[in-house]
Amino acid sequence: MQTLSQSPTDPAFVQNPYPFYERARATGPFFHWQDYALACTPSAAAVNAILRDRRFGREAPPEHAPAIPDHLRPFYAVEAHSMLELEPPRHTRLRALVLRAFTSRRIAALAPEITQLSHDLIDALPAGEFDLLPHFAQKLPVIIIARLLGVPEEMADDLLRWSNAMVGMYMAGRRRETEDRAVAATEAFVSFLRGYVEARRNDPRDDLISHLIAAESEGDRLSTDELITTCILLLNAGHEATVHTLGNGVKTLLEAKTPATALAPAGIEATVEEILRYDPALHLFTRWAYEDVEVMGQTFHRGDQVGLLLAAANRDPGQWDRPDRFRPDRVAKPNATFGAGLHFCVGAPLARLELQIALPILFARLPDLRLAGRPHYADVFHFHGLKALKLKADQRLPAIPSGRIQP
């Protein structure tokens, strides 16, 4: 296994990590990323195999679990109940309870709200040049997930701030001040939700928090701490990646001069899948080995960690023809963006629905939408999202009640 060095905070890498991924791919299915002291794979086959192999998982073997510093205990006390970080049997129990409330029918029923909110946000865009991220890409998913959970919509700014601070714990080059912000956000988030959950126990509504409280599986229910952590996970994961994907997707569609047919009803599903493949929001996810196991000639021992480069796997030429090209008419294949196996993202259907609805509306309402400056990615690896997306649109077509665009 060859060792490569690449700072994840290097400006050139932040703006375009894909050349490094290709350099890593040329060394074989695995390489040692010196800056992370971690074995990593850019191979689609290896990523898919490890995601589905129960000999690997998210939860560290007890004897290899990293020590938690005292100042970070409030953050990890919440993470201790997160199904994202757990393995069976706790993961199985939590996911089953969540899926009883987070149903496909409930997600599909959000389509009219996503449609209306997309139009409302476009109506509120500033005249002239504007930044799509704060005015549209951030607001849409955080408001939708807040409505879904039943959290007051006016809390959206707080939810966004808390979420951004908490996910800072997973970014490269984090510092003590990053950790302190994350802990403060965690404590504020927990305090708010603890009061809100108790209110919903006494006064249930038709919202996801009430349904999570009521969800049972073989007589089992979520504890208050599990419920709070699950709400935080759904709020954070339910919008964080979608914000980046909306921004990355609009940038890609504009730079590629994508034809209108790609956003038409017959083409939008394939276009969204290609956006998710081509420039995803999450680039690195890790797994622990639970026993000695060999993958594509590389042996891992119990307690070893492996980094799965999801974005690199999505551009593996062994899986896709000319993967560095954005082709919305590409025949869709499973990609690594939402993971695979038992940790496959529960929010994937909602993210897809938001993208499939919001993108056609945005481009139909703003038919001359164009870039107003060079897009710039934020230094947030292992996420990959824009710091700003400055756009211009001279025309803003009105929406009519049917949701169609007035010519």
Is the confidence at residue 270, as pLDDT, over 50?
yes
pLDDT digits (tens, 9 = 90+) for 3-24: 999 999 999 999 999 999 999 9
Mean pLDDT, to the nearest integer, of 48-65? 96
Task: Read off the tokens for 298.
Answer: 């590389």
Please list, residue by residue across 224-255, b when 16 or more beta carbons sit within 10 angstroms of its beta carbon and e when fewer do: eebbbbbbbbbbbbbbbbbbbbbbbbbbbbbe
Residue with tokens 């994907």: 245
| Out of 95-99, 348-352, 361-365, least confident range | 95-99
**Per-residue pLDDT tens for 169-201?**
988 888 999 999 999 999 999 999 998 888 888
- Name the DSSP letter for residue 137: I
Look at residue 401 in the predicted model and tell me its pLDDT: 60
More confident residue, 343 or 404: 343
Q: What pLDDT was estimated at residue 406?
A: 42
Q: Is the pLDDT of residue 240 over 60?
A: yes
Residue 402 confidence class, pLDDT cut points 50, 70, 90: low
Name the DSSP class of 16. Answer: -
pLDDT at residue number 397:
93
Strands 130-131 and 390-392: antiparallel
Distance CA 144, CA 360 (A): 18
pLDDT (0 to 100) of residue 216 = 66
Give the residue, 218 or 243, on which the prediction is more confident: 243
The pLDDT assigned to 212 comes to 86
Domains of the chain: 67-279+335-392 (1.10.630.10)
- Cα angle, residue 12 at apex, residues 10 and 16 outer, rounded to 5°: 115
User: How many Å apart are CA 322 and CA 344, to the nearest integer?
Assistant: 26
Question: Which of these, 283, 293, 341, lies nearest to 314 by C-alpha position?
Answer: 283
- pLDDT at 224 exceeding the cut of 50: yes
Q: What is the mean pLDDT of the chain?
A: 92
What pLDDT is stored for residue 30 in this prediction? Answer: 98
Helix runs in 124-175, H state only: 132, 139-149, 156-167
Strands, E, within 129-233: which ranges?
130-131
pLDDT digits (tens, 9 = 90+) for 297-337: 999 999 999 999 999 999 999 999 999 999 999 988 899 99
99-128 confidence digits (pLDDT tens) = 888 888 889 999 999 999 999 999 999 988
Look at residue 31 in the predicted model and tell me its pLDDT. 98
Number of H helices and E strands in the chain, helices first, is 16, 13
